[in-house]
Amino acid sequence: MNDTGNFVLVSNDSSNLWESFKSPSDTLLPTQVMNLGFVMNSKMSRTNFSGGRFQLRLLPDGNLVLNGRDIASDVAYNAYYISGTYDSSNSTNSGDQLIFDANGYLYILRKNGQTFDVGPRQTVPSGDYYIRATLDFDGVFTLYYRAKNSVANTSWSVAWLEPENICAAMRADNVGSGACGFNSVCRLDGASRPICECPEGFSLLDPKDPYGDCKFNFIPNCNEKESDYEEHIDFIELVNINWPFADYLKLLSGSMNECKELCLYDCFCAVAVYDGTNCWKKRLPLAHGWMNDTELGWAFVKFRKTELPSNNPTQFRERTKGQKTVITVVSALLGSSVFVNVILVGAICLGFVLSYKKGYNQVDKVVETNLTCFSYNELVEATNGFKEQLGKGSFGIVFKGTLGTKTVAVKKLTTLVEDGDKEFKNEVDIIAKTHHRNLVQLLGYCDEGQQRLLVYDYMSNGTLATFLFGDERPSWEQRSNIALGIAKGLAYLHEECCTQIIHCDIKPQNILLDEYFNPKIADFGLVKLLKMNESRTNTGIRGTKGYVAPEWFRNTPVTAKVDVYSFGVLLLEIVSCRKSVKEYESGNEYGAILTDWAWDCFHDKTLDALVGNDLEALDDYKRLTAFVMVGLSCVQETPSMRPIMRNIIQMLEGVVEVNEPPCAYPFSITSN
């Protein structure tokens, strides 16, 4: 570790093998120099150091930019800051390097030797200071300083930041969610940092990520009669907020009431915005939301009268009808006699206490599960009498359904343990608290008599099994991304969610693909509900033939390493595009067990046979070899020899080197 903060790995001949200055995470330090093509990602959140939603890049044309990005595909959105150091008429005037000098000045060195200051000079006080430039998780690029002789708990001071208003700056790009998550609203605090909040009518998709997406609490029903709309639906009124890129219809004139009425009778309208003259209908998801006192207007968010609006911050709201009623009652009291006042005040206080307790209990129940409880008849209607079957598994049958305009998958559970009422509710509560982009999202449930159903997001591209084992071999890049996504989902279940979840049945049929072929793990958290005699293998063993870890057959504890084993088999399937156990004609059983065959191909250096001469995979031979070694490491007979999912992710991403695995089955497997 050099005095500059550069961490260097040095070989025996004193040459640098790797250094942190050439591979920055989210921070630059003085004396650091970055060349054209440099990319730096923010972290995901204050406590999550994985790559986040924002980037600092020195483009090949010489411009330094800040931009948002899609984490899954790493596609960069349009810049919300651009240095302007590209000159199409004179290439020598374009930027060539980003330099952070020893004095704490950050500038772009042009090809002709001239400089362009990224931030203002003379902002760091003179003296002995630590200095750093960090792309923070909220997308703001900030120069910090701190006295070297300061006490340990002294915070860093801000010299300058870019942009000064990220809520407004990101509105220049109509792609992505903006400075905050989808359906969220951005506003600035006193230090020019963004605050992201879900407005009333919305709630956080992940309660642990206040800067993440918000989900709409209202579920539309386009089958409702128009005459029932006024009876069942009302609006939450918010002030001075807007989502400018979510319009699907604009009315050039009309009153506020007309604007609300037009949205009320349109089941596609989630929110209407009125600026005093014009009315805009908004579609979901809402993006680039922000609060600005200079933009006078009202937003009307739908909610059902039978449901409590969410208990989110109320700084966006106007005074509600309830508040106006209280004012009217108080005014009336002031004009009454003292005795009557005492009686009325006592009655009102009692009413407030009872109402508060009732409301608190209702809100607490909503927060506990964060799910919609559907009636059985609602789901019968949504699935058209369970007409279209999507699949069948250990837990029951999955049907396609429609709730309002949203397509859903309804799983009708048929193999639950006896008297499993409490177990069902406990497991549903645990599943409801899981939020990860590589898990299928649970939207609601039904617990009515003997009927227990789960409502999930619908995945338009079906199962990974159909994708992998079809007539056409998927691309290597797609398969690689899918493998990494599954690993991240499992790591979340094992280590990051509030209660550790061991899936126990990882296989291609339990991995679903959304419209962009992002993998989503399904059926997690349900294993405790499965009857033992309904499992796909021997009694007492949970899982599917070909994916079951050896410890299931022994009198040994079952841990998260059973999922690691199953993932290893699945990874080898993704690499080879063939099933874990293959049926062959009698007398030609070689290669029937994929894990054995994969070991032979790896040991004999014939990976071309394993991937069926897939040229795209063979051109990426280093990553192909790493994936195979990871798969073979996961299927080791001894659980302690298998890596954990967090380390698997690092190996798949190429962050850490993969050690050559030993033969997975040096000893025969016994069943005692």
* Catalytic site positions: 505
- Of the candidates 545, 551, 493, 553, which has an alpha carbon nearest to the alpha carbon of residue 523? 493
The phi-psi region of residue 543 (left if phi > 0; otherwise alpha if psi is between -120 and 50; otherwise beta) is: left
- Residues paired with residue 8 on neighbouring β-strands, in sequence order: 19
Residue 616 CA: distances (Å) to CA of 464, 494, 523: 20, 32, 32
| DSSP secondary structure letters along 77-140 | EEEEEE-----SS-GGGSEEEEEE-TTS-EEEEETTS-EEESS-SS-SPSSSEEEEEEE-TTS-
Distance CA 85, CA 106 (A): 14
Total residues belonging to the chain:
672
- What is the identity of the amino acid at 517? F
Q: Are 260 and 235 in contact (CB under 8 A)?
A: yes
Q: Are 243 and 288 in contact (CB under 8 A)?
A: yes
| DSSP secondary structure letters along 600-664 | HHHHTT-HHHHTTS-HHHHHTHHHHHHHHHHHHHHT-SSGGGSPPHHHHHHHHTTSSPPPPPPPS
- Cβ-based neighbour number of residue 433 at 10 Å: 18
Residues in CB range of 225: below 8 A, 6 or more apart: none
- Describe the crossing of helices 621-634 and 594-603 by its angle, rounded to 10 degrees: 130
Distance CA 497, CA 433 (A): 8
Residue 49 CA: distances (Å) to CA of 43, 182, 200: 5, 21, 30
Q: What are the tokens at 38?
A: 């440099």
Q: What are the tokens at 328?
A: 């009217």
Q: What are the tokens at 436?
A: 């990860």
DSSP 45: S
Q: Is 455 helix (H, G, I), strand (E, B) or coil?
A: strand
Q: Is 364 helix (H, G, I), strand (E, B) or coil?
A: helix
Distance CA 648, CA 346 (A): 64
- Cβ-based neighbour number of residue 551 at 10 Å: 17
- Of the candidates 600, 666, 598, 597, which has an alpha carbon nearest to the alpha carbon of residue 637? 666
Alpha carbon of residue 134 to chain centroid: 23
372-373 and 442-448 as β-strands: parallel, antiparallel, unpaired? parallel
- Cβ-based neighbour number of residue 321 at 10 Å: 9
| Angle formed at CA 314 by CA 312 and CA 319, multiple of 5 degrees | 140
| DSSP secondary structure letters along 478-493 | HHHHHHHHHHHHHHII
Distance CA 585, CA 405 (A): 49
